[in-house]
């Protein structure tokens, strides 16, 4: 009989235990193994060459942190059954199972506004049938329907184990040390209040503020870095253009499953859609872009060359929207330089906005010694939280690098 209680060596957390056989069975399933071929950070490796880690890495790391968090809560007297432990670990293990190629960038393009969480839930239900209902508790927790609220908060909130893993992991692989947080310290401060909600022991206030600032720095320095934003934008435009050209009758070389989605009309998801989706990964998109570099459509071939050859368009960044005249000038110069009349397709304003700490959506609560809970931003000890409740925005204008030398 196969030993399923394995230990995995992870570069971020060290040794990760698989304490339940059902976890191993889910990890071995083709739906989960596909995550080995889906990058955690899209095209971020064009900017940070080390960022080649996958959703597979991240899901295992988040599962490990969930196990650590549950052990911590048990030590503080919170009763957690083995079934609940299994459910919580399964839920976080599968939370990204519905991600499509290049993660966030393309999920809406392929499945018409189907957010990855919706697809994850759909695949969880299919797996639950295969495993004879063993994932039912996990699905309840994932959906926030389980009667003990803190399980869902550990899976999805402003301070969940998902964020704790991806911040440290992305910091490690990009080499951007500002994202490095002390996950063990944060987890050791976790608690559950009398209402059954996840809270943080009051003495952990500065660890939480450090977590929020680290996340903010990672967004502006890494995820929303102007070239990162551009690379993700280009992926979306490439798929959008390909779908448009196919709708106009053009034949585009691509793998069987990607071709299926390029031709797919907007309808609710069918069983075949789901099957085809689970066969897709980053390699399908890269292979297609390599072919499309030679497309007779100038716009598609230009964008694909930009990505594959890493000769990316020029970007300028601002805290305010760009003047219409400034954008029109870029479009005119693009038309003149390439001898085309649809230069507007190559000039775009990209907007990125961030609210570092959302006080309305699942605020973080501190548990004081007397048992009273208060909001993080209301704590007398907080230094930074009050400054992180305002939305910030950046505007990025992208246009062909070729025209930059003819612009005054």
The CATH superfamily assigned to 6-218+359-389 is Hypothetical protein af1432 (1.10.3210.10)
CATH code reported for the domain at 225-311: 1.20.1250.30
pLDDT band with cut points at 50, 70 and 90 for residue 386: low
How large a percentage of the chain has pLDDT more than 70? 94
pLDDT band with cut points at 50, 70 and 90 for residue 405: low
Burial 49-70 (b: 16+ CB within 10 A, else e): eebebbbbbbbbbbbbbbbbbb
Which CATH architecture fits 313-355+391-407?
Up-down Bundle (1.20)
- Is 199's pLDDT higher than 90? yes
Domain 6-218+359-389 matches domain 225-311 at the CATH topology level: no
pTM: predicted TM-score of the whole model, two decimal places? 0.93
- Is 290's pLDDT higher than 70? yes
pLDDT number for residue 135: 98
Domain boundaries, the chain: 6-218+359-389, 225-311, 313-355+391-407
* Per-state percent for the chain, helix, strand, coil, to nearest 5: 55, 10, 35
Contact by Cβ (8 Å): 187, 159: no
């Amino acid at each position: 009989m196969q030993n399923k209680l394995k230990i995995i060596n992870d570069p971020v957390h060290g040794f990760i235990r698989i304490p339940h056989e059902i976890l191993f069975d889910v990890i071995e399933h083709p739906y989960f193994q596909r995550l080995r071929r889906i990058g955690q950070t899209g095209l971020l490796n064009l900017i940070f060459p080390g960022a080649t880690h996958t959703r597979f890495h991240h899901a295992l790391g988040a599962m490990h942190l969930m196990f650590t968090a549950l052990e911590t809560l048990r030590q503080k007297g919170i009763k957690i059954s083995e079934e609940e432990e299994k459910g919580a670990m399964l839920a976080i293990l599968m939370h990204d199972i519905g991600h499509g190629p290049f993660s966030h960038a393309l999920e809406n393009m392929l499945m018409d506004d189907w957010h990855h969480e919706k697809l994850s839930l759909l695949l969880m239900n299919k797996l639950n049938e295969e495993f004879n209902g063993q994932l039912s508790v996990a699905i309840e927790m994932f959906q926030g329907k389980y009667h003990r609220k803190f399980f869902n908060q550990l899976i999805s909130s402003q301070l969940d184990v998902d964020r704790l893993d991806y911040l440290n992991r992305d910091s490690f692989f990009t080499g951007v040390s500002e994202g490095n947080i002390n996950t063990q310290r944060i987890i050791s401060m976790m608690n559950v209040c009398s209402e059954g909600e996840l809270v943080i022991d009051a003495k952990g206030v500065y660890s939480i503020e450090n977590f929020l600032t680290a996340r903010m720095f990672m967004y502006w320095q890494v995820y929303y870095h102007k070239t990162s934003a551009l690379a993700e934008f280009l992926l979306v435009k490439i798929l959008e253009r390909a779908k448009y050209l196919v709708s106009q009758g053009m034949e585009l070389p691509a793998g069987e499953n990607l071709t299926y989605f390029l031709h797919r009309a907007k309808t609710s998801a069918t069983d075949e859609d789901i099957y085809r989706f689970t066969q897709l990964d980053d390699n399908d998109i890269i292979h297609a872009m390599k072919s499309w570099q030679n497309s007779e459509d100038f716009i598609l071939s230009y964008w694909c060359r930009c990505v594959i050859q890493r000769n990316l368009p020029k970007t300028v960044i601002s805290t305010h929207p760009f003047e219409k005249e400034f954008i029109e000038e870029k479009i005119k110069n693009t038309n003149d330089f390439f001898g085309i009349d649809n230069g507007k397709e190559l000039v775009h304003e990209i907007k990125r906005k961030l609210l570092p700490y959302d006080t309305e959506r699942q605020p973080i609560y501190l548990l004081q010694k007397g048992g009273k809970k208060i909001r993080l931003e209301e704590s007398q000890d907080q230094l930074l939280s009050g400054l992180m409740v305002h939305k910030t925005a950046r505007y990025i204008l992208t246009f062909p690098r070729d025209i930059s030398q003819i612009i005054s």
